[in-house]
Amino acid sequence: MGQPGIDFPGLGVGLVIRRGRSILLYRRTRMPEAGHWNIPGGKVDHMEACVDAACRETEEETGLEIGAIRFLCVSENRFPQDGHHWVSLIYVTDDFTGEPRVMEPEKLPEFGWFDIDALPENVSKFTLDAVRHL
């Protein structure tokens, strides 16, 4: 069968969570782009709607309750050095409840709110694509 993103292109989702001019980013520990700051997101499960996957993954990773979201852009990235190829549907929202927290410390050990004009170093390609479309 193989592994999505490695043996064949993987289908992922991401969600830009906005609070004013700031967006929520988590630092990744896993490939691709380990060490980079990224919007919440992940893989789409078989037979799962992409919009539902974006909410599910974000809620699992952040502890937030996500309300209405809207489509923002498509981000396709190939990482030859990591052997990964992902196509991700990126969504955006400012409709959420709760405060973000570290829910998966082995994968996403820290987070922060960053102004879209003052992003940290080492921002993921998915995040840069999303910010260009905001």
- List, in order of start, the domains of the chain with CATH numbers: 10-133 (3.90.79.10)
Mean predicted confidence (pLDDT) in 19-25 = 98
Q: What is the pTM of this model?
A: 0.96
* 105 preceded by a cis bond (ω within 30 of 0): no
What are the angstrom distances between the C-alpha of 77 and each of 9, 28, 89?
10, 16, 12
Instruction: Give the pLDDT confidence of 92-132 residue by residue, as tens digits.
Output: 999 999 999 999 999 999 999 999 999 999 999 999 999 99
Nearest-angstrom CA–CA distance, 32 and 67: 28
pLDDT of residue 1 exceeding 80 = no
Question: Buried b vs exposed e over 14-36: b needs ≥16 C-beta within 10 Å?
Answer: bbbbbeeeebbbbbbeeebbeeb
- Residue 37 structure tokens: 């700051």
